[in-house]
Structure formats: structure tokens, C-alpha cells
Structure 1
Amino acid sequence: MGIHTAVYNYFTSRSTEVQYAPPPSPKGKGTTAQSGMDLYQQLDDYLGNAAHEVLLGTPHDDSTLVHYLIPCFNRYAAGARSVHRLLNYVNRHYVKRAVDEDRGWLRLNDVLDAVAKTITEGDNREKISQRLKERRTEELRKWGYVDGGSAELLAQAESYAEAASPPDRVVPLLSLAYRRFRIDCIEPLLAIPKVKKKGGKNKRPPPSNGDKSPGPKGRLARSVKELLESKGGDEDERRRLANELAMCLRTCGVRADHPLRKRLDKFLVSEQ
């Protein structure tokens, strides 16, 4: 409860400062725009450090990587949900205002070019606003939203899109946590490492298992390959791990067209 009280006191004291502060500058760099930014950044750093600790603890054996990552992510996600609830003042007093100020996951400039191509000379403000809304819905469809879907489906798709956004975008704390897990843990495991040879040129390292076939190069991709192609074992456990990893990648903002997500989705469909 100490951290909850600290955050509450932070925002109530800042609200008093803002009440008696001079108006913000035209560039939006006044007290109102800055209130909460430092706390938000500290939370971002904290979540990033927690995700990086998971990365540092990964086993050297790729065959056990998925088995390690799933429970680590589940514990991280449980902690992230607690932070999201406990520090809801940050969402209410800073994140909401930042989104209203066009600093959220989808900004006007992100969609302006596409919308501008469809605007005609006779369009009024209402029509332009509708086109911007349609462009946002188009983005959310990439994350599973369907036209006429429920409010829960909309919120879920938006949370995935928030987690997939660049680190300079202000998003709710839960999405912030998932974005940090993607950036500081998942993406390094998906990366294809390169080693330097004597000529100064980079080359990909040989397979760790001595197999001459190229196969996937990223650590997580190699682990998934071994999981899905291994003979024998518990089929229900294999499917559970594949399903939870697919959910982890989606939740953290790994896009649907990523090769690893496509492979997991294909496997899960074929096993139905």
C-alpha cells in the first residue's frame, strides 16, 4: 500500500501546483503537460529492468527456453496487472491526458497521410473525423477486432496495439508492461545473432546442435522448432506451451505477420 499512497500523494500535490501555476507554454511544455511524466518514465524503467532480468535468466539450452519463458511471463503478467490496478492514478491523471493530447499509441500524424488521400474538397469536419475513426478501426482489425464486435473485443485489440507501439507513445500501465517485456525480453530472443569472422564481415553462427540444415536462427525460434518437431512426449503439454507462447507474443505486441507467430498459429489450427 505504500507505493499506492506515494502515487496518490504525488498526483494530489501536483494538482495543487498546477492550480496555482502559470498557463502552459504554446509548445505544450508547461506544468500541465509535464505532470506525471517523470513518474511514468520511472515506472517504464522499472518494468524494463524486470523484463531484462527474465532475459538474463534464460537457460543456455534452447530446448528448455520455451519451458522457462512461459512461467516467467505468467508471473510478470500477474505483477503487471497488480501494478495496473494499484497505480490506477497514473492512468487516470497522466495517461488519459496524454492520449487526449495526441501522445497515445496512434497519433494524428500516423493516419493523416492515408486519410488525406481520401479527403475531397467538399468534405466537412464531421466527414474528416469519421475517416480518421475508420482508419483507427482499420489498425485495430490487425489485432483481431471485427466490425460490430463487443466492447471487450475492442479493448483487447487496442491493448495489443498499445503493446506493439514504439516506446515514445504513452499507453496504460498494463500495456506499458507488456511493451517492455517485448522490447527487453522477447525481441532479443527473436533476434538473429551475427558473429564476425576474420575478414571483418558478419556471418550467422552455425546451429548449436551440429545440424547442417539452416533452420531458424533466433533462439526462441529454434526452441519452438524443437518443441513442435520433437518426437514423443506429452502432446497436450506441447499444445499448451505452444498456445501460451502464442498468447504471450500477441499480448506483448508481436505482429500477426511475424514468422514465429504464423508458425505457432498454423500448428494450433492443425491440432484442433
Structure 2
Amino acid sequence: MERRCWALIKSRSQQDLPPDTRSGPDIYDQLDKYFAEAARELGLAAPIDDIALVQYLVPSFNRYNAGAQSANRLLNYVNRHYVKRAVDEDRGWFRLTDVIETVAKNISFEDSREAISRVLREKKLEELKKWGYPDDGSPEDAAFAESCAEAASPPDRVVPIASLAHRRFRTEVVEPLLATPKIKGNSKAKHKIPKAPPGPNPTRPKGRLARAVKELLETDTVDEEERLRLATGLAKMLQVTGIRSDHLLRKRLDKYVASTPSSLSAATATAAPISS
């Protein structure tokens, strides 16, 4: 992936385009299309078997993430000149329109611009806490939480290049694997299947990734250290690509990782870290 990023960057640099708002949207759109294509290829190549799917996804995302970080560094001028300006123009992942109702309730015509900015900062902080930012978090914690929120944003929001890549991995790889298959039924009344009685764990069809995680956590064919390494990698992949913490699959993976002995968790964490 890094090699293909270099090719794209070289093709744009040969045109002697200045790093301003004219070339920024063009390169940004091309990068978005490139990341979408690269992620789509990874999704199409994913194996069918459950354990094989997990063993494929974790290293594939690690390589994809490394390419995204390389592109983010090499094209940082796009972040500085185009993305920053778009955020200043309220076209980023967090917009005034997202909290306009709250602002209207808490701000009067007599309030200053500083008061409005304070309300916006408070609402943004609330959103970052949903992505794991603690009350006494460091600037690095805030930056990581914001990158996750950026990856979770809709495609029309302008985000930094690394988050742009992670967002495309979510839309092209993760979400199709999380999708629950539809059951095709006969519409005739005599062929209708009675509804299952309500219960704590009703039987429902699961997406491919949910079935793969279930197999990973319950199988005896994978040793404990490898199981934890894969579960940790999947949990981090879901978080970095913008899957919220209240998603059932994230909750299950996070619970498993948290319940693992600390000595084994430390060994696994140092073996396969995922930068963001």
C-alpha cells in the first residue's frame, strides 16, 4: 500500500500544483477514491472460513494502517492547508449544525462569541468521551479519541488523511462484514413463520465478523496467546475505524481482552501494536 501511495503522490507532485485550496480538494478526492479501492480489494479477498477471516483481517489492517500513516506524513501539507481550512469553515467531523439545538437552548443574543465557543468545546468534549477520552486525559488521548470520531463520521465530512483512510476501511471492509444477512421469506400468510418468543438471547442471524469472533473465542484450535493477540487486534481495528464502544461486537471483544490475565495481555500488546 505504501508503494501505491508513493505513486499517487509522485503523479500529483509532477504537476507542480501548489499546496493551496485549489489543489487540496483534488488530491483529497483522489486519496479518498484510492483508499476506497484499496480497502475494497482487501474486503473482496477476505476468506470465508471464520478463523481464517480473523487471521486475515488483523495483519491486513496493520499493513493498511501503516500505509495510511505514511500517506498522512507525506501529504501533511494537505492536512495543514486544506483539511484545517475546511474544519475552520465548519466542514469537519464536528459541526455547528450537529449541536445547533443545544447551542440555541444555552445561548442568548447577548452572549459573546467566547460563550458560544465554550458551549461548542463542551459538546465536543462530550463526544470525545464517547471514544474513550478520560476526564484527566492527555493531549495524546484527545488526539486519539478525535481520530476515532473522525473515522466514524459520514463521508461528506472533511477529516485528516489518516482518518480518511480509516473511514474507508470501515465503510468498505468492516461494515459489510458486520452486516446481518437478510432472510428471504414467502409473503403468503400460510408460509409465514411464527415469531420467536422474546427472551434474553433470541436466535438471530449474525454477520460474518460476529460469527468469526464467536468461533475465535470459543474454539480450542487456537492457543490462548494467539486468541488474545487476534482479539486485541480486532478490538483495536474496530475502535480505530470508528465503530462505537456500545456496539455488541466491540463490547464482547473489549470484555474478553479486559478479563485476560495482565501478564498475557502485556506480552500480546508488545507483540503486535497498532499505531493510530
TM range (shorter): 0.7 to 0.9
| SS of residue matched to 1:144 | coil
In the alignment, which of 215, 219, 224 is matched to residue 235 of structure 1?
224
What letter is aligned with 1:79?
A: G
Deviations 1:140-179 (A, max 9, x none): 1111112332111111111011001000000000000000
- Taking the aligned partners of 1:3 and 1:63, their CA distance within structure 2 comes to 34
Q: Name structure 1 gaps, 5 residues minimum.
A: 16-31, 204-212
- Taking the aligned partners of 1:80 and 1:241, their CA distance within structure 2 comes to 21
Equivalent residues in 2 for 1:187-198 (5 A)? 187-198=175-186
- Taking the aligned partners of 1:99 and 1:109, their CA distance within structure 2 comes to 13
In the other structure, the counterpart of 1:256 is 245
What letter is aligned with 2:246?
A: D
Q: 1:199 to 1:86 in 2, by over 3 A?
A: same
Q: Name structure 2 gaps, 5 residues minimum.
A: 1-5, 193-201, 262-276
Q: Quick check: 1:73 aligned with 2:61?
A: yes
In the other structure, the counterpart of 1:137 is 125
In the other structure, the counterpart of 1:107 is 95
Using the TM superposition, give the Cα deviation of residue 132 of structure 1 relative to its aligned residue in structure 2, in angstroms: 1.1
Q: Quick check: 1:149 aligned with 2:152?
A: no
- Taking the aligned partners of 1:13 and 1:141, their CA distance within structure 2 comes to 38
Determine if contact 1:161/1:253 at 8 Å carries over to the other structure. Answer: yes
Using the TM superposition, give the Cα deviation of residue 12 of structure 1 relative to its aligned residue in structure 2, in angstroms: 4.3
Q: Quick check: 1:36 aligned with 2:24?
A: yes
Using the TM superposition, give the Cα deviation of residue 200 of structure 1 relative to its aligned residue in structure 2, in angstroms: 8.2
In the alignment, which of 119, 122, 130 is matched to residue 107 of structure 2?
119
How many residues matched?
Answer: 245
- Taking the aligned partners of 1:180 and 1:119, their CA distance within structure 2 comes to 36
Q: 1:65 to 1:165 in 2, by over 3 A?
A: same
In the other structure, the counterpart of 2:208 is 219
| SS of residue matched to 2:233 | helix
- Taking the aligned partners of 2:230 and 2:101, their CA distance within structure 1 comes to 41
| SS of residue matched to 1:105 | coil
In the alignment, which of 139, 155, 158 is matched to residue 146 of structure 2?
158
Deviations 1:185-232 (A, max 9, x none): 00000000114244489x9xxxxxxxxx93651000000001111136
RMSD: 2.3
Q: Percent identity?
A: 58
- Taking the aligned partners of 2:26 and 2:102, their CA distance within structure 1 comes to 34
In the other structure, the counterpart of 1:64 is 52
What letter is aligned with 2:178?
A: L
| SS of residue matched to 1:36 | helix
What letter is aligned with 1:267?
A: Y
- Taking the aligned partners of 2:218 and 2:204, their CA distance within structure 1 comes to 12
Q: Which moved more, 1:133-142 or 1:118-127?
A: 118-127
Q: 1:260 to 1:76 in 2, by over 3 A?
A: same
Q: Quick check: 1:53 aligned with 2:41?
A: yes
Q: Quick check: 1:267 aligned with 2:256?
A: yes
* Higher-RCO chain (CA-CA 8 Å, sequence separation at least 6): 2
TM-score normalized with structure 2 length: 0.81
Determine if contact 2:92/2:158 at 8 Å carries over to the other structure. Answer: yes
- Taking the aligned partners of 1:200 and 1:91, their CA distance within structure 2 comes to 56
- Taking the aligned partners of 2:240 and 2:44, their CA distance within structure 1 comes to 21
- Taking the aligned partners of 1:81 and 1:177, their CA distance within structure 2 comes to 9
Determine if contact 1:11/1:93 at 8 Å carries over to the other structure. Answer: no
In the other structure, the counterpart of 1:29 is none
In the alignment, which of 70, 82, 86 is matched to residue 74 of structure 2?
86
